[in-house]
Structure 1
Amino acid sequence: MSGYFDHIDTIKFEGVDSDNPLAFKYYDAKKKVLGKTIEEHLRVAVCYWHNFCWDGHDIFGAGTFERPWLQGNNDQAAAEAKLDAAFSFFEKLGQPFFCFHDVDIMADASTPKEHVENLAAIVDKIEAKMDASTTKLLWGTANMFSHPRFMAGASTNPNPDVAAFAALQVKHAMEATHRLGGAGYVFWGGREGYDTILNTNVGHEMNQLGRFLNMAVEHKHKIGFKGDLWIEPKPHEPTKHQYDRDVGTVYGFLKEHGLENEIGVNIEPNHATLAGNAFEHEIEMANAFGIFGSIDFNRGDPQNGWDTDQFPNDLRENTMALYYILKGGGFKNGGANFDAKVRRQSSDAEDLFHAHIGGMDLLARALMNAAEMIENDKLQAFKDDRYAEWHKGMGKQMMDGNATLDDMANYCLEENTSPAPISGRQEYLENIVTYVVK
């Protein structure tokens, strides 16, 4: 199926003066920014599921896309046709990374044994493709939410036999990721939550999830996988409530189960929106807790209260996201995966390219804006000044553990003055960002 994209030329960087819609205007892969190339900073990845496994169907209508490899049964031949199309797309786009779920890449299976065999068969083919390509694996994961067996969760299911099937999938998906040189492995708990507390033992389910993740960590070390492990926070949908609802919740869960030094987070802005949080809030929380890992760059629709998974196009939002990512040290094993899909009416092969070109150009612009902000970091200078008193006097004594509550109270009495309010200068700081975003 590699012929599907043959009519499209390799996508090249042509600069902002180009009027070619199938060319990069800002994503100059080898351009240096803060000492690293744009490609090295962003580590952009194509997701397998939305681009090569979805035919454009939704709950109200049939598929709208002409995807030849999705016609008929999803047997081994179809899985290999899908693989040909995917790597043809990667090559045309010059994409450094891709990501997958186990069931994205493999032929359908009806038994556990067949699942293991079919995954192994396609991993052989992927390995051969990667040997002849420059595209690497950013991360892999297991789909433990689509099949009816997972309707009440995977590791959190009331039936331990379902959790055993989930263990089978995680074991083999992690081993496949390890074999293919993946930089990380993601746990996306699509149904690790509940629809009603009436039939749910919440405490038991969270303990099931904690033990399951500990077993996964143990297996990572057993097989010698050197990549990172990440949880992807999401508050709800498809379940009413999920146990990994946002970064703060995930960190508390990891601490409870002794996993805070083993597992980080893969953040998605659309999930942040559903949780009532800003994208940059989730990044800074992850930085604060030391668990920042990777990003699924996309956006939601403010008029739709669900996970629309649209390609990002908000330059200001993504400038601030890249600013906080860079402030936290940048991507290490993680990267910028587009967990996004074209709209159902964007039905041509070209539309897949338009979406990724736009997303990659947007992130390149955001990266350059963020770098400019860091080179003349007025935001950091303002915060340093605002918190300066905590580095001396009673503030420092308190943070060093050398002051008691009595000491603080007596200090207040000795000063005998009420602290004067100090402006937070929000509008001034917002203007700083406005003047940089371009």
Structure 2
Amino acid sequence: MAAAITLAAETPTLSAANTGFILICSALVMLMTPGLAFFYGGMVRVKSTLNMLMMSFISLGIVTVLWVLYGFSMAFGTDSGGLVGWNSHWVGLGDIGLTELWDGHTIPVFTFLVFQLMFAVLTPALISGALADRVKFTAWALFITLWATVVYFPVAHWVWGAGGWAFELGVIDFAGGTAVHINAGAAALGVILVIGKRVGFKKDPMRPHSLPLVMLGAALLWFGWFGFNAGSWLGNDDGVGALMFVNTQVATAAAVLGWLAYEKIRHGAFTTLGAASGAVSGLVAITPAGGAVSPLGAIAVGAVAGVLCAMAVGLKYQFGYDDSLDVVGVHLVGGIIGSLLVGFFASGKGQSNVRGLFYGGGLDQFWKQCAGVFGVLAYSLVVSAVLAFLLDRTIGMRVSEDDEVAGIDRAEHAETAYDFSGAGGGAARNAAQAPLVPAESKKVDA
């Protein structure tokens, strides 16, 4: 009887609280994709606004369908050689029981898969910021389809799937520093090296057209990121999810301060764009590390990321690659920083007892983090460049130069973000809005 009682105590049962919490977190992560669309949409010129929004929104459609058909199976199914998963019963999601629990946790499989779906949607959308102004929408949609299949789904298995090589090695990635941010940042670099620079790069002004839109997007990302990070523990029975929530706020705040301080020293001003970009860099960096570090460690991670990412965004001018909206400088560099700093700041009091160098753990975890970082970086960079090359040689990745100069919104979507045809004040506005009056009625009384 005692053995039976012990066994029953160890068997997980469905938790309504944890299930509800993860469903809410899933909705928050979904909000990050529209938030990213606004963030990127405000950073481009007026003539590219709608295209930038659509490059994020189309990911919600494409990746959702792929996830149901085979993506979830590839990412979290039974391992094959540490490289990819597969479970034929998950294809189409028809054989999953409504109350079937996820792998030793207290939430249903459906709850876990929809949470992870939102990660899969967001990751290719991140890439789009590097390609602003110049990519055919059809080519982008096809790239997302191929990239999610041969890059994201396998890499998610490496990092989070039971049996994945990075998972088995002990690489710490709480919520996606390698699988999401390094993956997307490396992919962005691979694609832009293939498709080349925008017309007028380093010659024409390419300033953000709407900084309020950028700040709105950054705020939505910051808000949604609490679900992204805290939800990744799949519950909060032991307080680790709450630690991650706190560290997400702390690191992001420190990154904003770090970026702005660097900007003031380097350029002489505190800019709105710098504050928004600093927030995103901190969010990126704490994503892999937040479950392993203390709040003081989170401050260090955020501050380092804020300064180094601010420095990194200028590298495109030195090396000549056109990363339109600094995906490489923020997501790739920020993901690398956060992932590697786990090897220094892991406290042994969070998600595991692993300790970093500054807590007496030596460099063992640092080398594991290096393996995860550079393994994902190399794979995503090479495969993404190959995919872009094949698409460019077949259907063509770029719009024509004339369409790029005139505006990709009109060329690809037959729309514009803002209609100024009725703009004007006073008599001009009244004249535009006044109804037509027959000529014979326009008589002045004596």
Q: Same fold (TM over 0.5)?
A: no
TM-score class, shorter-chain normalisation, is under 0.3
Q: Considering fraction of residues, name the structure with more strand.
A: 1
TM-score, length-scaled by structure 2: 0.27
Greater RCO, 1 or 2 (C-alpha within 8 Å, sep 6+): 2
